[in-house]
Structure 1
Amino acid sequence: MSRVVAVHSTGGPEVLSVEDWPVTAPGPGQVRVRQTAIGLNFIDTYQRSGLYPLPLPFVAGNEAAGEVTEIGEGVSEVKVGDRVCYQGVTGAYAEERLVPAARLVPIPDGVDERTAAAVLLKGLTAYYLLFKTWPVRQGETILWHAAAGGTGLIATQWARALGATIIGTAGSPEKVALALDHGCHHAIDYKKEDFPARVKEITGGRGVDVVYDGVGKATFEGSLDCLRPRGLLASFGNASGPVSVPDLGILARKGSLYVTRPTGATYFTQREDLLEGAKALFDAILSGAIKVEISRTFALADAAEAHRALEGRETTGSVLLLP
C-alpha cells in the first residue's frame, strides 16, 4: 500500500484526502518509483478545483523525484536503482507509484532529488517559453509576471544568462527584493504601482518584446499595454482566473500584437523533446546560471495546507511535499 493524497470530488483544499492505495507490479513500459520529494504546482490546484477536469477519483500532483524500485516488461529507458524525476504525469502525491518509463528523466550527478522535484515542471515551463515559444535573444527586454514564484525565479535567472533585460512583477516588497536577487534588472510591486506605466517608463516608451504571464485574468489587458508593436503575450497560467478575449480587435488597436496560450503537454509529447529540455535545465543548474530556491516543505499528509499557502500567495520559489 502507498499513502496518497486523493481527490474524490472537486473543490477547495478541503477535498484533498489522505488515504492508502494499492500499488501493483509495473506492467509493460511501466516503472515503480519510491518517491522522496514531490513538487507543488499551480496546475495541481487547477485539477483539484475542477478548472482542469480529470476523471474522479484521482491522486493529485504532477511532479516528483525518487528511485526506481521495479521495472516492467520492455523498459529500456531506466533500470532499478536509478534516480529519476518526472513532470506532467498526474498522481504524484504518493509515497510510491507507477510511472510510464518514457516520461522519466534521469537525475544527473550533482543534482539532488529535492532539487529535481522542485525544478523539473517549472524549469521545463521556463525552457519552452524562453527557447521555443519566443526564443529570447541577447538585447531583448522581457516582462515576467510573478517573478518571485517558482517558475519566475528559475526563468528570470535563465533569461538573464541569455543576455535579456528582465522586468519582473511581484506582490510585496519582500517578493520584489527576491526577484531582484534572482535575475530581474527591474522589479515592480503591482499592488502599489501601475505596472504598464512603469514598464513604459523603464523602456523609454517602447514597451517590451514579450510578456510571460502566468497570472491570467487580472493582468491580461495590462500585459498587452506593456508590449511594443508586434510583440507577443505568452499567457501560460490562470492563477487569477482564466482569460477570455471576446474582441480580437483589441490586438490591432494596441499594436498588431500576438497572443499565444502554450502548454508543456504540447511541447513535450515526444521523449526526445523532454530529454532535450531537461538536459538544458540541469546544465543551467550545474553551471550556476540557475540557483533553485526551495522556500518551504510540507509533509505529504499536509497537502491541503500547502495548497492553501500556494493559493493565498504565501509562498515564493519552489515548495515541496515530503512523503
Structure 2
Amino acid sequence: MATELRENDVAKTVRFHEIGGPEVLRLEDVELGEPGPDELAIRVDAIGVNRAEVLFRSGEYVEPVKEFPALLGLEASGVVEIGAPGFETGQPVSVVPGFSPNDYGVYAERAIVPAAHVLHRPDDIDAITGAAVWMPYVTAYGALIEIGDMRAGDTVVLTAASSSVGLAAIQIANRVGAVPIATTRTAAKKQALLDAGAHHVIVTEEEDVAARVRELTGGQGARFVFDAIGGPGVLDLATAVAQDGTLFIYGMLDPRDTPYPPLSIMRGRGMRSFTQGEITRDPARLRRAEAFVISGLRTGTLVPVVDRVFDLDEIADAHRYMEAGGQVGKIMVTVKH
C-alpha cells in the first residue's frame, strides 16, 4: 500500500549551485515533492559514487548541467516509500544508472527516481552491495558479454583496472573462463590486481602495453581491449587487439580527443564506444544483466570490492578521495536515518 508524503516534506539532499570542485557540494533541505506515475519515492540507504558524477559536477561530463541548483547521484539502494506498478511500499530496491543527471539524483536521504531504472533487491543482498554493483558490473557485462560475446579462452586487456569497473571486469572474465590482463600506471597497485584475479598485470610506466600483450598472447593480441581512458593512447592500444577483436572505449579519463586509428592498424579489427545506457535503457538487456549479476553475487563468483565508505555529510570528501585516484574498488556513501 502506498503512503503519502506529508505537505512540505523535506529531505537532506546534496546539490551544487555552480560548476567547481568538491567544495561546491552542499547538503540542503529540499522539498521532495510527489512522484509521478512512472516514478518511485525511496528512502536511500547506500549510494555508489561514480566518476560520471565527478565529471558532471566539474563541467566535464558528456552532458552539461542544464540548470542550478543541480542534483547528483546515479546509483543507490534503499526501500520503497511510495510505490509504482510492480513495486510495493517497504520493498528493498536498487537504483541503476542510465537516466540523465539533469533529471534525477540519489545523493539524498530520500529521492524520487524513475521506475524504469529500479530493480528489486533480493533480501539476501545488503544495501551496500545493492548500491555497489550496478554501474561496474553492468558496464563490464554489457560490453564484454552482451555485445562482445566474450568466451572461455578469450584474452581481455583492462585499462584503469583498479577502478570498480576494472575489478568487475576481472571477475566477469574469470567467471566465463577468459584471461584478464590488467594495466595500471604504477606498480603500487600491481599486487592488489593480482590478488583480485588478474592473470597478468602490466605497469604502464615501466612496460610497453601493446608489446607486452603480444608477448603474453603468442603474438596474436587480445580479443578485447576494454579501455576506460580514451585519448591518443588508443593508437597504441589498437595494436594490441587481435584479428577479429574489438577495442571498447567506455571512459574518458583522458580529456583529449580520441582519434580513430589508421586503417593499416584497424584492418580486421573493430573499435566502438560503449555506455552503460545501451543496457539499462533496453528492458530485455537489463533483465539479462540483472540475472547475470544476481546469480554471480549468490554463487560468490562476483564480489564487489569496496574501497572506502563515507557518510552522506562527507560527500565532498568522497569526491576528493575519488579525484586523488588512490582507490582500489568502489567508493560508497551510507545514509543515516
> What TM-score do the two structures reach when normalised by structure 2?
0.89
Matched, 1:12 2:21: yes
Question: Partners in 2 of 1:61 and 1:308 — Cα distance?
Answer: 16
What is the aligned partner in structure 2 of residue 232 from structure 1? 246
Secondary structure, aligned partner of 1:136 = coil
Give per-residue Cα distances to partners, 1:74-93, cap 9 Å, x unaligned. x2221001100112243011
Q: Which amino acid aligns with 1:65?
A: S
Query: Which residues of 2 match residues 100-179 of structure 1 at below 5 A?
Result: 100-179=114-193
Return the alpha-carbon distance in structure 2 between the equivalents of residues 12 and 255 of structure 1: 42
From 314, 319, 322, give the equivalent of 2:326: 314
Read off the aligned partner of 1:161 and give its amino acid letter.
R
Aligned to 1:286: 298
- Tell whether the 8 Å contact from 2:92 to 2:123 is kept in structure 1 after alignment: no
Deviation readout 1:260-280 (Å, 9 max, x if unpaired): 011122322133332321121
Q: Measure, in 1, the Cα distance between the counterparts of 2:82 and 2:128.
A: 21
Matched, 1:24 2:33: yes
**1:298 pairs with 2:306:** no
Instruction: Tell me which residue corresponds to 2:90.
Output: 81
Distance 1:240 1:315 in 2: 18
Q: Structure 1, residues 108-167: CA drift from partner, whole Å, max 9, x if none?
A: 132111011011111111110121231101111110112221111111111111111111
> Whole-Å Cα distance in 2 between the matches of residues 191 and 5 of structure 1?
38
Distance 1:222 1:5 in 2: 40
Question: What is the DSSP-based 3-state SS (H/G/I as helix, E as strand, rest coil) of the residue aligned with 1:47?
Answer: helix
CA contact (8 A) 1:228 1:255 kept: no
Moved more, 19-28 or 9-18: 9-18
Which residue of structure 2 aligns with residue 45 of structure 1? 54
Unaligned runs of 5+ in 1: none
Deviates more, 1:248-257 or 1:21-30: 248-257
Separation (CA, whole Å) in 1 of partners of 2:225 and 2:127: 31
- Classify 1:69/1:181 alpha carbon distance in 2 versus 1 (closer, same or farther; 3 Å): same
- Quote how far apart the aligned CAs of 1:198 are: 1.5
Q: Percent identity?
A: 31
Quickly say closer, same or farther: Cα 1:249–1:29, change in 2 above 3 A. Answer: closer
Equivalent residues of 2:75, 2:94 under 8 A apart: yes
| Matched positions, count | 318
Q: Which amino acid aligns with 2:152?
A: Q
Q: For the Cα contact (< 8 Å) 2:32–2:111, is it kept in 1? A: yes
State the alpha-carbon separation in 1 of the partners of residues 174 and 256 from structure 2: 29
Moved more, 217-226 or 163-172: 217-226
Alpha-carbon distance in structure 2 between the residues aligned to 1:138 and 1:242: 35
The one-letter code sitting in structure 2 at the alignment partner of 1:41 is N
- On the 8 A contact 1:284/1:290 being kept in 2, the answer is yes
Deviation sequence 1:155-192 (CA, Å, 0-9, x none): 11111111111111123334221211222110112222
Q: TM-score, normalised by structure 1?
A: 0.93
Root-mean-square deviation over aligned CA pairs: 1.7
Measured in 1, the distance between the counterparts of 2:208 and 2:315 equals 35
**For 1:297 and 1:23, how far apart are their aligned partners in 2?**
25
What one-letter code is carried by the residue in structure 2 that aligns with 1:202? L
CA distance in structure 2 between the aligned counterparts of 1:175 and 1:303, rounded to whole angstroms: 25
